[in-house]
């Protein structure tokens, strides 16, 4: 009997250890689960932090309250950083770069549009111009092309010019999608609202029209300028900004509110305009001055007179004929660029809360700089160059080579 008791005791001991084992495993399992959950929560929190940081940044960018200070980080571009692409017979009037910066499109007085491979530096496709009088049968332009715009997702390309209509293209295939009629003067500017398929067109008929590209539909016309509109731009908000040429005004069109803000410049013609961010913008005039503006002030925060003081055709120093032909801004940063006919493209740095515009670098460029476009990441600046001003034949710089220049912008720290 004593032996039996001993056996029972030992077996109950073994049973207990098996139970303990189960309990221990269960506790371990629960502890593991808790740890995993805690780690997951931590990861989720980190993800949430990253996402909220991104959203805050995007919100700041869209409200125009952020200014990334990048201008000082760039090197002076050398001649090796410039790719020259030739293919247009006449002066290039406009350029646009695709969001992935792989392709560049250019329009010209020869009525054609060319698609370029910006990486390889070669021509991919030409949309040929047609003869005057063949507007109804020719797919494309039969007169000077003045402006190009591309949607921020790279799905649509719009072109306009002396023909008074806006053409919508598929940028991948260069096939015509639609023709928007309605303007009664040459199309002088086009801009897509960022993140949408809403297109603004500005014209010498003094009006702006809004189009819905998805529906291929006309939305509305905006009136207010008293002279031919010379340029247009748009960012994230449902707004457009226009320069009114000789009416010496800049207007911001608040589409939803159905109102407009008017900014009056000095006498002269405001020939080009660009948003820096949602609350600041830059303009260039035919009296060789560049101005930085804010939404809150009716007058410029700063104006640089004689911004391009090069030489005229005879080698005489002349600022009278150096009209500012184009301005471009790297959105939400302190870097802007301007072009004229004085043999260089100028890069500028905006500082001290938009009240100072300092010259940063000069990039040698013979001819009329008719168009400038930054890639969204600020690594490339594309210029459209012509022997003549995009709107007329008042002067001709014979030494200039019609075409586009792709300028690589290098950072010092890379």
Q: Is 316 left (phi over 0), alpha (psi -120 to 50) or beta?
A: beta
Place of tokens 């031919």: 228
**CB 174, CB 115: distance < 8 Å:** yes
pLDDT at 178: 94
Count CB-CB contacts under 10 A for residue 13: 10
| DSSP SS3 for 157 | strand
Q: What is the Cα–Cα distance from 90 to 305, expressed in whole angstroms? A: 31
> Kind of pairing, strands 356-364 and 259-264?
unpaired
**CB 243, CB 253: distance < 8 Å:** no
Q: What is the Cα–Cα distance from 289 to 284, expressed in whole angstroms? A: 6
Structure-token pair, residue 248: 């010496």
pLDDT at 320: 58
CA angle 390, 278, 107 (to 5 degrees): 20
What is the Cα gyration radius of the chain? 30
| DSSP SS3 for 12 | helix
Count CB-CB contacts under 10 A for residue 104: 26
**CB 250, CB 243: distance < 8 Å:** yes
CA angle 112, 114, 119 (to 5 degrees): 165
Per-residue pLDDT of the chain (414 residues; tens, 9 = 90+): 555 554 544 554 555 677 888 888 888 888 888 888 888 888 877 877 888 877 777 777 666 667 788 989 999 988 888 989 999 999 999 999 999 989 999 999 999 999 999 999 899 999 998 888 887 888 889 999 999 999 999 999 999 999 999 999 999 999 999 999 999 999 999 999 999 999 999 999 999 999 999 999 999 999 999 999 999 999 999 999 999 999 999 999 999 999 999 999 888 899 999 999 999 999 999 999 999 999 999 999 999 998 888 655 455 545 557 899 999 999 999 999 999 998 899 999 998 788 999 999 999 999 999 999 999 999 999 999 999 988 888 888 888 899 999 999 998 875
Phi, psi (degrees; rounded to nearest 5) at 403: 160, -170
Structure-token pair, residue 103: 């392709």
pLDDT at 322: 86
pLDDT at 48: 79
Q: What is the Cα–Cα distance from 260 to 402, expressed in whole angstroms? A: 38
**CB 240, CB 224: distance < 8 Å:** no
Q: What is the Cα–Cα distance from 337 to 307, expressed in whole angstroms? A: 11
Nearest to 363 by CA among 344, 382, 378: 344
What is the DSSP track for 188-229?
A: EEEEEPTTS-EEEEEETTSEEEEEETTTTEEEEEEE--SS--
Going 114 to 94 to 233 to 58, the CA torsion angle's sign is positive
Q: What is the Cα–Cα distance from 379 to 24, expressed in whole angstroms? A: 60
pLDDT at 13: 52
| DSSP SS3 for 97 | strand
Q: What is the Cα–Cα distance from 8 to 67, expressed in whole angstroms? A: 82
Nearest to 409 by CA among 308, 327, 336, 326: 336
Place of tokens 């010092």: 412
Q: What is the Cα–Cα distance from 381 to 31, expressed in whole angstroms? A: 57
Nearest to 282 by CA among 257, 265, 268: 265
Strand partners, 207: 223
């Amino acid at each position: 009997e004593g032996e039996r008791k001993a056996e029972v005791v030992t077996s109950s001991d073994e049973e207990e250890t098996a139970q303990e084992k189960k309990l221990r495993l269960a506790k371990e399992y629960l502890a593991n689960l808790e740890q995993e959950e805690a780690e997951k929560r931590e990861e989720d929190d980190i993800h949430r932090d990253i996402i909220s940081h991104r959203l805050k940044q995007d919100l700041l960018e869209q409200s125009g309250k952020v200014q990334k200070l990048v201008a000082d980080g760039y090197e002076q571009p050398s001649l090796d950083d410039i790719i020259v692409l030739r293919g247009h017979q006449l002066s290039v009037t406009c350029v646009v770069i695709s969001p992935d910066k792989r392709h560049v499109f250019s329009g010209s007085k020869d009525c054609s549009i060319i698609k370029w491979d910006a990486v390889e530096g070669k021509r991919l496709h030409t949309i040929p111009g047609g003869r005057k009088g063949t507007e109804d049968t020719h797919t494309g332009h039969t007169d000077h092309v003045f402006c190009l715009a591309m949607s921020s997702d790279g799905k649509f390309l719009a072109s306009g010019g002396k023909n008074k209509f806006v053409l919508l293209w598929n940028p991948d295939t260069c096939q015509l999608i639609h023709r928007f009629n309605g303007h009664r003067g040459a199309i002088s500017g086009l801009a897509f609202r960022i993140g949408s398929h809403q297109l603004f067109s500005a014209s010498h008929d003094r009006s702006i029209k809004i189009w819905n590209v998805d529906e291929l539909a006309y939305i509305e016309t905006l009136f207010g300028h008293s002279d031919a509109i010379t340029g247009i731009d748009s960012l994230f908000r449902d707004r457009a900004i226009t320069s009114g040429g000789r009416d010496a005004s800049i207007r911001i069109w608040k589409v939803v509110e159905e109102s407009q803000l008017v900014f009056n410049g000095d006498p002269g013609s405001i020939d080009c305009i660009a948003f820096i961010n949602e609350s600041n913008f830059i303009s260039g005039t035919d009296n060789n001055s560049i101005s930085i503006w804010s939404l809150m002030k009716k007058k410029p925060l700063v104006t640089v007179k004689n911004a391009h003081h090069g030489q005229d055709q005879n080698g005489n120093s002349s600022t009278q004929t150096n009209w500012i032909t184009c301005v471009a801004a790297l959105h939400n940063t302190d870097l802007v660029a301007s072009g004229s006919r004085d043999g260089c493209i100028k890069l500028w740095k905006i500082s001290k809360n938009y009240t100072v515009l300092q010259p940063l670098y000069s990039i040698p460029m013979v001819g009329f700089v008719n168009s400038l476009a930054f890639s969204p990441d600020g690594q490339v600046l594309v210029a459209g160059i012509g022997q003549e001003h995009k709107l007329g034949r008042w002067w001709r710089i014979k030494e200039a080579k019609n075409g586009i220049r792709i300028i690589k912008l290098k950072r010092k720290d890379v």
